[in-house]
Structure 1
Amino acid sequence: MPRDRWQTLGLAVQGDRFEVSLNGQVVFGATDRTFPGAGRVGFWTKADSLTHFDALEAEALG
């Protein structure tokens, strides 16, 4: 990935199933039953990373 360009990170969640995409391409999907109720969105980055986030959008689908 180029370091000097914005990337688009996507997350689609339906029930306990989620799919992660990067620049419109699905990277992986998984099932997670850790938190069974409706939740929140959060970000985590590694301590040695320089990371910027802009234009966060979250919407309920369905």
Structure 2
Amino acid sequence: MATKPQWRTSSYTKSDTCVEVADNTPGVVLVRDSNHRDGGCLTLRPAIWSSFVDFVKAGAVLH
């Protein structure tokens, strides 16, 4: 039986960008735009997601 993703809003979400994350699924982290939930999601390995979070915490600016 597959684990149903439990979506939560990222703590780094800004008012004009809404990112949701589901990290309860075995072996993957799912990321989607909460303004376009039916538009699909990114499927990332946990190590890649962790590296991205570290990048953002370090003050990186993404455009």
TM-score normalised according to structure 1 size: 0.36
TM-score normalised according to structure 2 size: 0.36
- Name whichever structure is richer in helix by fraction: 2
**Higher alpha-carbon Rg:** 1
Q: Which has the higher contact order (CA 8 A, sep 6+)?
A: 2
- Name whichever structure is richer in strand by fraction: 1
